C-alpha cells in the first residue's frame, strides 16, 4: 500500500467514525480493513484508526506517533521498530503481535490485550498499562527479572502451579524498557506447557497482578 492509498483509506475511515459510530449524519465512509497490508515505513501520525481491522498488518518502521487505534483489531500485526509514541492503544487487541524494538513511550495501553505479544527491546517508558492483559510463554519466564526491569511489585498466585517450577530466563519481555511504565490491575498470565505421559502436552497457568 502506498502513502496516498493509506491517506484515502484513513479519510474514509474517519467519515465512518463520525457518521456510523458517532451517529453524526447519514452513514458514510467505510470501516478500514488493512489486514495483511504492507504498511512498512508509512506515516500514520495523528491518524485515527479507532475500531479498524489491521490483523497481520506489517507496520515495521512506520511512524504512528499520537495515532489512535482505540478498540482496533490488530492480532498478529508486526510493529518492529514502529514509532508509537503517545499512541492511543486503549482496549486494542494486540494478541500475538510483534512489537520488537517498538517505541511505545507515553503510549496508552490501558485495557489492551497483549497476550503472547513479543515486546523484546520495546521501549514502554512512561506508558500506561492499567488493566492490560499480558500472557507469555512460561518457558523461560522470570518474575524476578520482570520486577527488576519494571520497578514494580508483583504478587504471584500459585493455586495451579508453584512459581519455583518456572524456568529461570526471561523470554518474550526480555530487554523491554519498562522504566516509568504505569501498571495497575494488570493481569499477567504465564502459560507453562508440560509434557504428558504417552505424548501430548497440557498447559498450566500462573496469574500475576501488580499491586
From the number of C-beta atoms within 10 Å of its C-beta (0-12, 13-18, 19+), residue 41 rates as middle
Range in 54-68, 129-143, 153-167 with the lowest mean pLDDT: 153-167
Each residue of 24-36: pLDDT tens digit?
777 788 999 999 9
- Taking the C-alpha atoms of residue 64 and residue 67, their distance in angstroms, rounded to an integer, is 5
The DSSP bridge pattern shows strands 201-210 and 187-195 to be antiparallel
The residue extents of the domains of the chain are 1-32, 33-211
pLDDT score at 208: 43
Task: Please give the CATH architecture assigned to the domain spanning 33-211.
Answer: 3 Solenoid (2.160)
Q: Of 88, 56, 49, give the one whose Cα is nearest residue 72.
A: 49
The single-letter DSSP state of residue 17 is I
Q: Of 108, 102, 16, give the one whose Cα is nearest residue 58.
A: 102
Each residue of 78-136: pLDDT tens digit?
999 999 999 999 999 999 999 988 999 999 998 898 888 888 888 888 888 877 877 65
Q: What are phi and psi of 20, to 5 degrees?
A: -75, -45
- Taking the C-alpha atoms of residue 205 and residue 14, their distance in angstroms, rounded to an integer, is 40
Amino acid at each position: 500500500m502506498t502513502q496516498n492509498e493509506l491517506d484515502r483509506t484513513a479519510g474514509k475511515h474517519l467519515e465512518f467514525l463520525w457518521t456510523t459510530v458517532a451517529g453524526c449524519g447519514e452513514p458514510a465512509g467505510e470501516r478500514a480493513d488493512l489486514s495483511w497490508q504492507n504498511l512498512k515505513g508509512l506515516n500514520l501520525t495523528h491518524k485515527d484508526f479507532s475500531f479498524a481491522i489491521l490483523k497481520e498488518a506489517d507496520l515495521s518502521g512506520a511512524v504512528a506517533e499520537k495515532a489512535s487505534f482505540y478498540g482496533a483489531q490488530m492480532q498478529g500485526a508486526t510493529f518492529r521498530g514502529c514509532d508509537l509514541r503517545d499512541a492511543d492503544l486503549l482496549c486494542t487487541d494486540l494478541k500475538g503481535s510483534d512489537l520488537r524494538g517498538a517505541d511505545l513511550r507515553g503510549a496508552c495501553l490501558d485495557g489492551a490485550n497483549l497476550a503472547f505479544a513479543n515486546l523484546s527491546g520495546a521501549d514502554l517508558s512512561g506508558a500506561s498499562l492499567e488493566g492490560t492483559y499480558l500472557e507469555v510463554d512460561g518457558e523461560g519466564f522470570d518474575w524476578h527479572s520482570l520486577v527488576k526491569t519494571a520497578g514494580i511489585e508483583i504478587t504471584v498466585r500459585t493455586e495451579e502451579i508453584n512459581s519455583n517450577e518456572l524456568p529461570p530466563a526471561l523470554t518474550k519481555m526480555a530487554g523491554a524498557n519498562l522504566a516509568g511504565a504505569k501498571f495497575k490491575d494488570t493481569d499477567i498470565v504465564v502459560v507453562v506447557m508440560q509434557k504428558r505421559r504417552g505424548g501430548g502436552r497440557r498447559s498450566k497457568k500462573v496469574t500475576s497482578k501488580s499491586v
